[in-house]
Every structure is written in C-alpha cells, then in structure tokens.
Structure 1
Amino acid sequence: MTKLSWGIVGGGEGSQIGLAHRMCSALDDKFQFSAGAMDINPERGNEYGVRLGLDADRAYGSWQEMLDGEKNRADRLDLVTVATPNATHFEITKAFLENGFHVLCEKPMTMTLEEAKEIVALQEKTGQICAVNYGYSGYPMVRQMRDMVRQGELGSVRSFVAEFSHGFHADAADADNPRVRWRYDPKQAGISAQFADCGIHALHLASFVLGQNPKKVSADFAACLDSRELEDDALVALRMEDGAVGRLWSSSIAIGRMHGLTLQVFGEKGGLRWAQEQPNQLYWNPINQSVQILERGQNGLSQSSLDASRLTIGHAEGAPVAFANIYKSIAKDIDARKAGKPVGAQDIDYPTAFDGMVSMAAIDATVRSSKADSVWTDLNI
C-alpha cells in the first residue's frame, strides 16, 4: 500500500497539538510524514523537523517556504495540516487551497465569519478537501449516537444539552500568565474566548449527532474574573434548523471539572447520554424502559461506530484514536479521488469547511446576542 504524503505547519517542539497530529496521522499507516514548517523560528523549525526524520530540504523555515517548495514537486503533499495560532489559520489555509492542496485546519478555522465564508467559497471553487479538526466527532460512540438519530431510533429529536467546561483558568493569580492571558485578549483571541475555544466543540458535537445546525441563539456571556475582557463562562440557548431546542454551557472557571465535554439528546422515543471522560459507554434509555449501557465495540452497533474502533471491547480508547478517525476519513476521501471514484456528501465523515463556517456564524451570533442582553439572534449563514 502506498502511503499518502502529509505535512504540517506549526506544531513545533513542545507543542501538544503537534505531537497529537503526528501520532494521529500515523495510526492507520495511511499517511507518511514528509514535510513541515514547524516553528516561527526558521532555524529551530528546520532542526526539529530533521530530528523527527524529515529530509533537510523538506524541513522548512516558514509556511511560505513550504508552499513554494512543495507546490511543484512530483511527490508533493497530499494533505497539509494547519496547526498554528488561531489568527494565522485563514491566510495559510487559503494559500494552500489556492495551490491545489487538501487541508486539515485546526479550529477555529478563521477569526471572522467573513473569512470563513471566503474559505467555503474557495473550497467549493477548487474542489479541494478543507477539513476542520473537530476531533471529538471521531469517537466511536459519538458516531453510534449519530447513527441512532439517523435511523429514527429516537424518533424526532426534541431537545439536547451540551457542555464543555473545565476549571483550569479559575485562578486569579494566573492573570498575567501569558499561556492563559492571551485567550481573553481580543487582540489575540478575537471576539470570543471560552465559547470560541471550547463551546464550539460542544456545538459541533451536537450538530454532528443531530444532523441539524443552529438557526438562532440567545447567549449570556460573563467574564467572572475582573481582569478579563472576554468571557470565561458562556450559557447559550439554541433553536436548531429542524425544530430541536438546545442548551449549551461552556466554562473555564468551573473548578472540579476536568474535561467536561458531554452531550445528552432527547427524542420522542428515548434519550441518549455520552461523556468524553467515559467515552466507551453510551447510555440509551428507550421510553418507558430501563436504561441500557452500550459498550464500544460490542455486537450490534452501527458499522461506522465499529469502523471507528481499534481495540477489542473493554479496552480503553481515547482522544488520539478519535482524532485519528478524522485522518482515516480524510485518507479514504483522498484515495477515492485518486482512483477517480465519485465522493458524495454521504461519504464524507469528517468535519468540513462548512462546519467551520457554522461555528464562526455561531460565535458571531452569540457575541451579538450577549451584547444585546441575550436577545434571540439569527445566525448569518
């Protein structure tokens, strides 16, 4: 089997997200790490890339140098991952798409809704893949939830509750910690902090499972630490396209919460409950029956859930394997395109640029709503 050629912009030495992408891209032997521009310092980036096994001429000093070096190669990259600071995502993603590369961009895809719309239009024009790393949608039991909703096991979905809250920014003593401070600085983070960082993960998870995007929102943002300009706690009510109502809470000052990503979905025939910290179990409660615990990998689950599982039932699988499912799905799409096989919307099992645009529209709408005393606000999609 010939591996696809993969490169990354960003994710230098000491970067948690860089290590995650290198592990996840390699998990299924679909991609070969071939090129990188991994540090804002050219010499440091070149040295680190070579140390990771890159050829010296493909360990680039900048993303511009990487683009110039790769676009005319016979063995050019099949996929470029953009894992740089948020404010640079748009420029880099746009440049690689314009030059015929498939792109996987870290979230948020852009800093503004206008930029997001431009990326979607460019992706549609070029026909290239533009994926966004909402990696939690790669969990097997999340895909099981989606398939149960699709198959009508819940009947019409009436409501959902999504959360993504932690307490790691609750200490006022961290006010001047640069690793924390930038997240609440509009000059670096944009118009939203906690909702744009974590809340959109919970929102995408709900949209992925329900097959519905938000239509309008009512938001209450709060900066609970006086030193912050942007919110560290967000409460959002949502009305979805097909009528479901939702409640979403995201916070970075919830002391005692570790990585509190959860989703509950309530339909006319039953309810589902999943938590990222216990990802192997999905709680299914058919109406007027006892709760059932569905285990990852067990017989009878949907095919997409089983395809997303790597280890036998009872063994722990976590975030790296879920994120690797995004790479696995992208590789399947690229292979089909190389073979001249048609790829329909039903075949795309990874978050797309359109999903990234919906997130930016949600950020834009929730900020406008919060500033207007939580008035119901339409998404501008």
Structure 2
Amino acid sequence: MFNEERRFEQPIRWGMVGGGRGSQIGYSHRNAAQRDGLFKLVAGAFDLDPARCQEFGINIGLEEQRCYPNYQAMFEAEAQREDGIQAVSIATPNSTHYEICKAALKAGLHVVCEKPITFTSAEAEELKTLAAEKQRVIGVMYGYTGFPMIHQAREMVARGDLGDIRVVNMQFAHGFHNEAYEEKEPGLKWRVSPEVSGPTYVIGDIGTHAFYLCEMITGMQVSRLSCMRQSFIPSRAPLEDNAHVMMEFEGGAVGTLWASAVNAGSMHQQKIRVVGSKASIEWWDEHPNQLRYEIQGEAPRILDRGMGYLYQDNEGVAASHIGGGHAEGYFESWANLYHRFALVFNATERNDHATVDNVWIPGIDAGINGVRLCEKCVESADNHSAWVNF
C-alpha cells in the first residue's frame, strides 16, 4: 500500500500558473499535488483576467493578496516573502510553456510543466541547462506514468520476463474531434492553431503520451522514424488530426505509433503492446488496473494492480492508494507522480543526491524527447514520409 506516513517538516509551498475556473487540467494538478499532503497550494496566477483569477483563488482557499494578475507578478512578489513558493506548476497553452518555465527557473523555483514543454528541442535543451545551473528540477506531466501497472510492465521488461524486445505498438486514438468542434469550443481552438499549439496537434497533444510510455517501459531509444500525417478536417491544416509513425530502435526493435482525434466512436484507445522473444504485455488506459501478459504456448494472464504476485519490491508497483479489486484511476496516477516530484524537489533542497538519483520521475529529458518526436515527425511528413534520424 501507499506510504501515507511519509511527510516533510513542512509541505512544499506551491503555486500555479493557469488552470483556473473550469479547467480540467488545473483541477487535476491541484487534486493530485495535495492528495498526499506533500504540497500546499499558497499562490496562483490562474487566469488572464485579474478579477476572475482573484475570485477563483479565494474560492479555493487562497489569500486574496496571493492571487496574482500574471506569473511575472507572482514570481517577483513570492520571492520577497519568507514563506514564498518553492515550486510552480504550469498549466497554460503550449506557446507559453518555454517563457514561463524559464522565468520560474530564474526565480529559483522547481517546475512541473505540461507537455510539450517547448516548441523546439533547442529551447528544451536551454531549459535543461538553466535548471542545472540553478540546481532546480523540471518535471514533465506525463500523467499516465503514475499507474502502478505501468511500473509493473517496466519491471517485467527489465527482469527479462519478455525476453529480447522486438516490437512495440503504441496508440492514442480517440474520436472526440471527428468534426470541426473547435468552431464552438475555445478550449479546442487553440490546440489546432499553430501559433499556440506548435507544429503539431495530435502528435504533440496525445502521441507524446503513448511514445513516453514506450520510452519508460522499455528504456529503448529511437534511431530513426517515418511519419505520415493528415488533416481530415481541412481547416486544421497544417496541423494534423491523424498520424501514423514507424520507428526503428537502437538494437534492432521496431515500433509503430498511431495518434488520432478522428477515430470516430472511440473513447481513448490509448494502448501499448510490447512484444518480446518469449512473451508480450499489453496495457490499455481505459482499464488501467490490469496488464495483459501472454507467454508463448500458455493461456493469457490478466495481472491486477495491488496483488502480491506483482513485483511489489518496486515502489512504483506498490504505489496503490487502495487495495486490489477497487478501481484506482486517473487522479491516483497523477497523485503518484506528484508524490515523486515532491520527493525529488525536497531531496534537491537538502542536497540529498542519492534520493534525486534513485527516484524516477518524468523529467526534462522526457520533455526534450517529446519535443524532438514532434520535430522529427513534421520533418518526415513534410518530406513525403522520408525516414529521418532521431
């Protein structure tokens, strides 16, 4: 079971940029970060409208003077306080991530940022260098990687249960944007606007989630890829609402990625299947408590979260908020990640390098590779699906 007795002398004082009234992502961050008592929300710049920001902040329990009109004002004012924020989460549109993250690091703050963390890998590398100079940590919100069964899958690959990895099939293919809903939905409009979303839509928005599951579970690195992408809703061009990517990994394995917002009738269809020389595993985010395990020549097995036959000596596998059989889901996965972010932020403050080195988080390198995936897919697709080096 999860270690709810783990505490700091004081919770990490934490602020947010974006994620105001009506934001599902903002609520997800607040719910997850504070669930285990390791973070405390004390400040925010939640909205471009200062009055609306202040009203919202007060309604969720903040002091009026700590609800700021913008992130610049928040970072400046909080730096003058003895009880100022130590970390910040960034839940704003893609085009703002780089500048806000850069400003946060310069203000001496640890960062949790939505992905893609920047528009270009050069910008992401710059943030990595700045974080190292400031001795701060950047966490990237790959929210599905907190599920215990993802860590079980990773451990099974590492222990050789599957044999040599040969094939990885990745997909995140929902159907909710099969028509031009952005004409009436401002929250979708920015996602299909290049100046705000960046050079991709579904590759950056959801494809990076599936891709990072592959990186995390297998540890393999892509050597080259080929991408084709489509704008089935013509007004979304040049951004794609469907994409197929073929990949070759260092060491000889191969993979495919399907990212789509026009898979009509589908809820999420985020799945990953890892095929080895001895066995395969498959995980589906709509049934996150189960991992399908198939050994050649034997009946398929369904492994369930919270059970003693799992690799419970791995903290990520054991990180269940409730016993097996009960349904854990999205918020628990996010909470597991924020728990890990807290441990690494706190250890960094104490110069506890052993903890920093041994607690896994989706950090800046995960963010860099997500941005690079977008760049390379665009490069390939714009050159008639040519193979490009990763």
TM-score w.r.t. the length of structure 2 is 0.93
Query: Which one of the candidate residues 353, 356, 361 is aligned to 2:367?
Result: 356
Does the Cα contact within 8 Å between 1:141 and 1:279 map onto a contact in 2? yes
Q: Does 1:289 align with 2:319?
A: no
Larger mean CA deviation between 20-29 and 171-180 belongs to 171-180
Give the distance between the partners of 1:112 and 1:214, measured in 2 at CA: 18
Structure 1 partner of 2:354: 343
Query: Which one of the candidate residues 6, 11, 19 is aligned to 2:14?
Result: 6
The aligned runs of 1:110-121 (5 Å cut-off) are: 110-121=118-129
Q: Note the alpha carbon deviations across 1:294-332, whole angstroms, 9 max, x for none.
A: 100000322224432111110101111101111000111
SS at match of 2:235: coil
Does the Cα contact within 8 Å between 1:186 and 1:192 map onto a contact in 2? yes
Give the distance between the partners of 1:114 and 1:339, measured in 2 at CA: 30
* Matched residue type, 2:41: F
Structure 1 partner of 2:250: 241
The aligned runs of 1:186-335 (5 Å cut-off) are: 186-229=194-237, 230-302=239-311, 303-335=314-346
Does the Cα contact within 8 Å between 1:218 and 1:237 map onto a contact in 2? yes
Larger mean CA deviation between 178-187 and 271-280 belongs to 178-187
Q: Does 1:59 align with 2:70?
A: no
Structure 1 partner of 2:48: 40
* Matched residue type, 1:316: A
Give the distance between the partners of 1:5 and 1:99, measured in 2 at CA: 14
Larger mean CA deviation between 239-248 and 77-86 belongs to 239-248
- Gaps in structure 2 of 5+ consecutive residues: 1-6
Give the distance between the partners of 1:198 and 1:330, measured in 2 at CA: 22
* Matched residue type, 2:188: V
User: How far apart are 1:281 and its partner, in Å?
Assistant: 0.6
SS at match of 1:110: coil
* Matched residue type, 1:77: I
Instruction: Classify 1:173/1:55 alpha carbon distance in 2 versus 1 (closer, same or farther; 3 Å).
Output: closer
Q: Note the alpha carbon deviations across 1:81-122, whole angstroms, 9 max, x for none.
A: 011111111001011112211000011101222211211221
* Matched residue type, 2:119: M
Q: Note the alpha carbon deviations across 1:200-240, whole angstroms, 9 max, x for none.
A: 11101111111123221100101112222111100001122
Instruction: Classify 1:35/1:247 alpha carbon distance in 2 versus 1 (closer, same or farther; 3 Å).
Output: same
Structure 2 partner of 1:374: 385
User: How far apart are 1:337 and its partner, in Å?
Assistant: 2.9
Q: Does 1:76 align with 2:62?
A: no
User: How far apart are 1:14 and its partner, in Å?
Assistant: 0.9
* Matched residue type, 1:166: H
Does the Cα contact within 8 Å between 2:136 and 2:348 map onto a contact in 1? no
Does the Cα contact within 8 Å between 1:273 and 1:283 map onto a contact in 2? yes
Does the Cα contact within 8 Å between 1:333 and 1:343 map onto a contact in 2? no
Q: Does 1:22 align with 2:20?
A: no
TM-score w.r.t. the length of structure 1 is 0.95
Give the distance between the partners of 2:187 and 2:291, measured in 1 at CA: 35
Does the Cα contact within 8 Å between 1:37 and 1:63 map onto a contact in 2? yes
* Matched residue type, 2:116: P
Structure 1 partner of 2:191: 183
Q: Note the alpha carbon deviations across 1:10-67, whole angstroms, 9 max, x for none.
A: 1111111111111001111111111111110112111211121111221111100100
User: How far apart are 1:193 and its partner, in Å?
Assistant: 0.9
Q: Note the alpha carbon deviations across 1:268-288, whole angstroms, 9 max, x for none.
A: 121001100001110111232
- Gaps in structure 1 of 5+ consecutive residues: none
Query: Which one of the candidate residues 332, 357, 365 is aligned to 2:376?
Result: 365
Does the Cα contact within 8 Å between 1:218 and 1:238 map onto a contact in 2? yes
SS at match of 1:227: helix
Give the distance between the partners of 2:79 and 2:223, measured in 1 at CA: 39
User: How far apart are 1:182 and its partner, in Å?
Assistant: 3.0
Does the Cα contact within 8 Å between 1:219 and 1:374 map onto a contact in 2? yes
SS at match of 2:291: strand
Q: Note the alpha carbon deviations across 1:125-151, whole angstroms, 9 max, x for none.
A: 222110100011111100110111111
User: How far apart are 1:177 and its partner, in Å?
Assistant: 4.4
Give the distance between the partners of 1:79 and 1:242, measured in 2 at CA: 39
* Matched residue type, 1:256: G
* Matched residue type, 2:227: A
* Matched residue type, 1:200: T
% of aligned pairs identical?
37
* Matched residue type, 2:151: R
Structure 1 partner of 2:3: none
Does the Cα contact within 8 Å between 1:24 and 1:323 map onto a contact in 2? yes
User: How far apart are 1:344 and its partner, in Å?
Assistant: 5.9
